[in-house]
Amino acid sequence: MSDFVKVDLVHNLYKNKKWKEIKLNKFESIENVKKKIYTHTGTPHNSMDLYAYDELNIENSQVHLSNDQLCLNDYHVKDNYTIYIQDRNNAIPNDIIYHIDDAEKLNQLKHFKYEMKEEEYEKRQDTFRNFIKKLRARGEGALQGGAPNGESHPNGQIHPNGEDPLDNPPYDEQTYQIGNRCRIKIGDRRGVLKFVGKLKKGNEFSVGVDLDEPLGNSDGTYQNKFLFECKGSKYGYLGNINSIEVGDFPPFDITDLDEF
């Protein structure tokens, strides 16, 4: 068994930046992990809070890496986890979780805020709680509306949990057609849309993307079930429908990429 895990890093001060597949020793102290992260992000190790989670199972996997003397293994951090870095010296109240625009996912990540007395927290206008309330108010119709969810769907979209399809999906079917080019908002990874559907009961729709480069979190399967074809391991991406943007996003020319 390897002593290392590969994780992605995201930062509260870098909205569209993602450091992919950073190799970390899972038996090193969190303090030493922070020092290595400093070399990638520039945030001093004594000014950062770290949180880890699995993008495909946020609610059950999220953990605050709060004890500098423990290690990643103690917190059960595994390959393909994401580590969220919060810079305490430069925290922006409304920049929580790089502006995720999905209320359900934001609610799952509700612990990503500074701890303070409840009465003090309620007095503030720029809190994470108020941010969620405003977000829900803006998107209430779409989030609470009907959703197609049967065994099959036009444009090749499938819904594996077997619920009946409805007439008015909460997304633009013309935009989210299978085969359209798209990009993942975090990290600007690009590819072809291959799947739209529900992976579990509820209102949340997921998408599957065949990426141009092996920078994903899937091989086209979910819980050992085939969802869509992709080029191989790491070429697939699974995430919330709001995590992608569909449009004219051609593959990157490798000669145009800047090294971080």
Q: Over 80: is that where the pLDDT of 135 sits?
A: no
Q: Tally Cβ neighbours within 10 Å of residue 108.
A: 19
Taking the model in full, what pTM does it have? 0.41
Convert the chain into a string of H (helix), E (strand) and C (coil). CCCEEEEEEEECCEEEEEEEEEEEECCCEHHHHHHHHHHHHCCCHHHEEEEEECCCCHHHHCEECCCCCCECCCCCCCCCCEEEEEECCCCCHHHHHHHCCCHHHHHHCCCCCCCCCHHHHHHCCCCHHHHHHHHHHHHHHHHHCCCCCCCCCHHHCCCCCCCCCCCCCCCCCCCCCCCCEEEECCCCEEEEEEEEECCCCCCCCEEEEEECCCCCCECCEECCEECCCCCCCCCEEEEEHHHEEECCCCCCCHHHCCCC
Query: Nearest 5 degrees, angle CA 220-CA 223-CA 226?
Result: 35
The residue written with tokens 């909460």 in the block is: 170
Q: Over 80: is that where the pLDDT of 147 sits?
A: no
Domains, the chain: 4-97 (3.10.20.90), 154-251 (2.30.30.190)
The letter for the amino acid at 168 is N
Q: What's CA 140's distance to the chain center, in Å?
A: 21
Backbone angles phi, psi at 91, to 5 degrees: -70, 135
Give percent of the chain with pLDDT exceeding 90.
30
Query: Which two three-digit tokens encode residue 206?
Result: 């997921």
Q: pLDDT tier at 236 (50, 70, 90 boundaries)?
A: very high
pLDDT of residue 96: 40
Interval 16-36: pLDDT, tens: 678 888 999 999 999 999 999
Distances (CA, A) of 242 to 2, 179, 254, 257: 34, 17, 27, 25
pLDDT of residue 164: 40
Supply the mean pLDDT for the chain.
Answer: 73
Give percent of the chain with pLDDT exceeding 70.
64
pLDDT of residue 20: 87
Query: Which two three-digit tokens encode residue 152?
Result: 């099959």
Beta bridge partners of 165: none
Alpha-carbon distance of 205 to 202, in angstroms, equals 8
Average pLDDT score over residue span 224-246: 90
Average pLDDT score over residue span 59-76: 90
pLDDT of residue 223: 84
